[in-house]
Amino acid sequence: MFNTSYIEISKKAYKSNIRYLKKIIGKDVVFSSVIKGNAYGHGIDNIIPMAEESGIRHFSVFSAKEALDAHEVISPKSSIMIMGFIDDDEMEWAIEHGIEFFVFDMCRLHNAVETAKKIKKKAIIHIEVETGFNRTGFDYENLSNLIDFLNQEKEDFVFKGLCTHYAGAESLSNYLRIKNQISLYRKFNRYFLRNGLQPELRHTACSAAALTYPNTIMDMVRFGIAQYGFWPSPETHMFRFRKDSKERNLLKRMLEWKSRVMVVKHVEAGNFIGYGSSYLANKKMKIAIIPVGYANGFSRALSNTGRVLIRGRRVPVVGTVTMNTMTVNVTDIPGVERGDEVVIIGKQKRLSISISSFCEMSEQLNYQLLTRLPANIPRQIVP
Ligand SMILES: Cc1ncc(COP(=O)(O)O)c(C=O)c1O
């Protein structure tokens, strides 16, 4: 397989997630599949074809580089939207290829309009407004410059969207902040309309917002984490669980990460295992070496605390996780041998290790863990 571990991605689970999310937003709302961060670790080239099979025609990325990667895979009917970075010299490529993009300051707007004039093709822009996240977006106080410029240069762009991003819709503790953001967004929208500027799409919601604040759904939703089968937070899960009590499967996990036992050996009592002295064998032990370490996405924080599945049993990591290996204790499992399947995330017989338990063990957000899975681990789609 020319790699030390591999990831399986379930097409059935993905399609079920899309069906569930589409039911929530309704058929008239555009579903934008957020595929930044290598499609949250699932691989852009794996997700785009499955998304298109599920009827998705809009994809959101962070940078022009990600747009370029997506552009190589998408069908001509689909659109790509850049929500973040575009270098000045990437603008021409973006406009030339009909790539949509966020505009959040005058500098980008000037660049977009000048480039559009130069190549005689309209820029397709989404104006991002600052409603309280305090990252990117035009401030309400200084709108008149923007409005004047937009009205002056109407011939050179398509006003595709008016958008903003919420500052933590996944947590109840941000409730007031989100409510204020929604009100301010509406105020922006009214201001644009009063000044003769009507966006084709109003869009503000990410997964958590769409799942818990129905009035954020508007004309398009930018779904990231939820399409991959993860809840943005336990609170979001609880909220939907109560609301959709009749649904059998709300969101389904679609990713499993597996490897194989490389070596099995015995260690006599009184010996340390691995680098340093963090694990002392206090009896004769049987250990298995797995060819996955922190260079492969298995955090060093899991030294002496992580778990994997072998022969349907949960086995603990002993000693420190090294760059390319981890060692697990298989003393009580008969018959473990070289080549046995090791499940790092996923199911084996009746046991499973979920991403969320893995994240808790390694103290990472699911977003972090997924996007840190190295791109060179082979991904296979399973039906
Ligand atoms: C602007 C924007 N929209 C949408 C998303 C998708 O968020 P989520 O993965 O929580 O659905 C992100 C992700 O960070 C984002 O930055």
Architecture of the structural domain at 11-242: Alpha-Beta Barrel (3.20)
For ligand 1, the distance from its centroid to the CA atom of residue 223, given in whole angstroms, is 7
pLDDT at 365: 83
- Work out whether strand 341-348 and strand 255-260 pair parallel, antiparallel, or are unpaired: antiparallel
The pLDDT value given to residue 176: 96
What is the per-residue pLDDT for 28? 97
Q: Which atom of ligand 1 is nearest to the CA of 227?
A: 11
Residue type at 290?
A: I
Contacts of 264 (CB under 8 A, 6+ apart): 286, 287, 288, 289, 330, 336, 337, 338
What separation in Å is there between the alpha carbon of 222 and the centre of ligand 1? 7
Looking at residue 215, the DSSP 8-state letter turns out to be: G
Q: Where are the domains of the chain?
A: 11-242, 255-353
Give residue ranges with CB within 6 A of ligand 1: 34, 83, 165, 206-208, 222-226, 232
Q: Are 18 and 54 in contact (CB under 8 A)?
A: yes
pLDDT at 20 over 70: yes
Predicted pLDDT at 358: 80
Q: Confirm if 18 and 305 have CB atoms less than 8 A apart.
A: no
Would you say residue 331 has pLDDT above 80? yes
Sheet bearing 285-290, strands edge to edge? 263-267, 285-290, 326-329
Q: Band the pLDDT of 336: cuts 50, 70, 90.
A: very high
Residue 224 CA to ligand 1 center (angstroms) comes to 6
- β-strand pairing of 341-348 with 351-353: antiparallel
Residue to probe by mutation, ligand 1, list 25, 31, 34, 63, most atoms within 8 Å of CB: 34
- Cα 165 to middle of ligand 1, angstroms: 8
Mean pLDDT of the chain: 95
Q: Taking 80 as the threshold, does the pLDDT of residue 15 lie above it?
A: yes
Q: What is the pLDDT of residue 1?
A: 66
> Atom 8 of ligand 1 has which residue's CA nearest to it?
224
On the question of pLDDT at 363 being above 80, the answer is no
Q: How confident is the model at residue 357 (pLDDT cuts 50, 70, 90)?
A: confident
Compute the distance from residue 369 Cα to the ligand 1 centre, in Å. Answer: 16
Burial of 194 (0-12, 13-18, 19+ CB in 10 A): exposed
Q: Which of 30-39, 243-252, 331-340 has the lowest mean pLDDT?
A: 243-252
> Could you tell me the pTM of the whole model?
0.94
Q: Give the number of other CB atoms < 10 A from CB of residue 280.
A: 13
pLDDT given at position 244? 83
- Spell out the long-range contacts of 350-353 with Cβ–Cβ below 8 A and sequence spacing 24 or more: 350/312, 351/309, 351/312, 351/313, 351/314, 352/309, 353/307, 353/308, 353/309, 353/314
In this prediction, residue 155 carries a pLDDT of 97
Structure-token match 């996007």, residue found? 371
The answer on pLDDT for 159 being more than 80 is: yes
Q: Does 2.40.37.10 match the CATH number of domain 255-353?
A: yes
Q: Looking at residues 325-347, what average pLDDT do you find?
A: 97
- The predicted pLDDT at position 169 comes to 94
